[in-house]
Amino acid sequence: MKISYHGHSVIIIETDDHTRILIDPFITGNKLTDLTLEKVEIDYIFITHGHSDHVGDLVYLAKKNNAQVVAIPEICHFATSQGIKNVHPMNIGGKFDFPFGQVKMVFAQHSSGYELDGEMIYMGEPAGFIFTIDNKSIYHAGDTAFYSDLSLLGDDFDLDIAFLPIGDNFTMGIEDAAKASNVIQAKLTIPIHYNTFPVIEQNPYEFIGLLPENTGKVLEPGEFISI
Residue 38: exposure state from Cβ atoms within 10 A (0-12, 13-18, ≥19): exposed
The pLDDT value given to residue 134? 94
Beta strands at 20-23 and 44-46: parallel, antiparallel or unpaired:
parallel
The pLDDT value given to residue 34? 98
Number of domains comprising the chain: 1
pTM above 0.85, yes or no: yes
The pLDDT value given to residue 35? 98
The pLDDT value given to residue 2? 98
Q: How far apart are CA 77 and CA 90, in angstroms?
A: 12
Residue 216 DSSP symbol? B
Per the structure, the complete domain to which residue 178 belongs is given by 2-226
The pLDDT value given to residue 115? 95
Residues of the chain with pLDDT under 70: none
Task: State the CATH number of the domain containing residue 109.
Answer: 3.60.15.10
The pLDDT value given to residue 178? 98
- Residues present in the chain in total: 227
Tens of pLDDT, residue by residue over 23-58, are 999 999 999 999 999 999 999 999 999 999 999 999
In DSSP notation, 25-46 reads ---TT-TT----GGG---SEEE
Q: Which helix (H) or strand (E) holds 184?
A: helix 174-184
